[in-house]
Structure 1
Amino acid sequence: MRNHFLLALPLLLLAGCGSKEQNQSAMVTNILDQALPSTRDAPPGANAITPVEPAPDLPVAKGEALHANAIPIALQGRWTGTNERCGDRAAAQALELTAASLIFHESVGTVQRVTREGEGRLAVVANFTGEGESWTRTLMLRPSADGQQLTITNDGTAIVRKRCTPAV
């Protein structure tokens, strides 16, 4: 019986949101839709490419331990789009990162898990709310070498932001 419900759930969700999308077509958002996989990642194949040198770790403040469910202090603070003014809280790409949240212009994500990925990236799984909606997303965060830019990738789309203020 449960399997029948799981099969019907996507159809129910699609039926419930058909008319709403027409009203929101002009809405500016920072987060794109991405479905989280319900299965674990497959192990690498026998012909998988392994880098010779590991990617450098994110800078860690003295005495800071990395926690599995927290954004590192090196990334915390205020960020905005590369062409936006730092003091403008209404900027479309404004973002504040704390240890436990991602606060965008129109949505807030509560961090559930943070894991290190290759090439200096972090995968952040967060539960988001905004505009009366709730969703879960995995975002890839990759800071520049000097820590002044942050690339956030979601479902293949990357947005580069510049640092405005570090964490307090």
Structure 2
Amino acid sequence: MRITSSIAALASLVLVSACTEPVEDGPEPEETMMPVEPDGGIGDGATPLPELLGTAIPEALHGRWGLVPADCTSTRGDAKGLITIDAERIEFYESRAVVDEIEEQDTGMIRARFAFTGEGQEWTRDIEWRLSEGGATLTRSESGEDALEEPLSYTKCETEGE
């Protein structure tokens, strides 16, 4: 009888332990907070947090920009003042630049070190690109060695259908 009662006790213990939830050790996972708009809403109008922007050039600066009106309309390939900006790069007449290191940025501006390549050469420049209030003008200001002395102002090129 002793063996039978020991087996019954052991079976009871197994059943009780199978019915209880396991205890998990360790801290609770942390939640990632979502940015909110100034009015408390979530999402579409919120200014992106700098850490979410990464090294992308702000979308408000994307597009085609010319130093003079002819830069936007030339079909001869001689638009030396035309630049094209997307999230990854800035294309110039004979060179291109990518973000190397961001100093400051928001939705209408970026100040960063840009790595340039063109005509077999490589160089860097510290540049601030700032969009005007109305969004029609983009100002380029440089600092550091070999910087432009005066800021340059680019005008947004119209796209078909505008």
| TM-score interval, normalised by the smaller of the two chains | 0.5 to 0.7
Normalising by structure 2, we get a TM-score of 0.56
Matched residue SS, 2:125: strand
Asked if the contact 1:70/1:114 (under 8 Å) is kept, the reply is no
Q: Percent identity?
A: 29
Distance (whole Å) between structure 2 residues aligned to residue 79 and residue 99 of structure 1: 15
CA RMSD of aligned residues (A): 2.6
Are 1:73 and 2:59 matched, yes or no? yes
- Kindly provide the CA deviation profile for residues 62-95 of structure 1, in whole angstroms up to 9, marking residues without a partner as x: 4773513111000111101134341325211100
Are 1:161 and 2:139 matched, yes or no? no
User: Unpaired runs of 5+ in structure 1?
Assistant: 1-60
Distance (whole Å) between structure 2 residues aligned to residue 110 and residue 117 of structure 1: 15
Counterpart residue identity of residue 152, structure 1: R
Normalising by structure 1, we get a TM-score of 0.54
Are 1:151 and 2:139 matched, yes or no? yes
Task: Decide which structure has greater helix share.
Answer: 2
Distance (whole Å) between structure 2 residues aligned to residue 150 and residue 122 of structure 1: 11
Matched residue SS, 1:84: helix
User: Unpaired runs of 5+ in structure 2?
Assistant: 1-43
State the aligned residue count. 105
The list of structure 1 runs, each at least 4 consecutive aligned residues, that deviate by more than 3 angstroms after superposition, is 61-66
- Residue aligning to 2:93: 105
Matching of residues 17-96 of structure 1 within 5 Å: 62=45, 65=48, 66=50, 67-88=53-74, 89-96=77-84
Counterpart residue identity of residue 151, structure 1: T
Instruction: Name the larger-Rg structure.
Output: 2
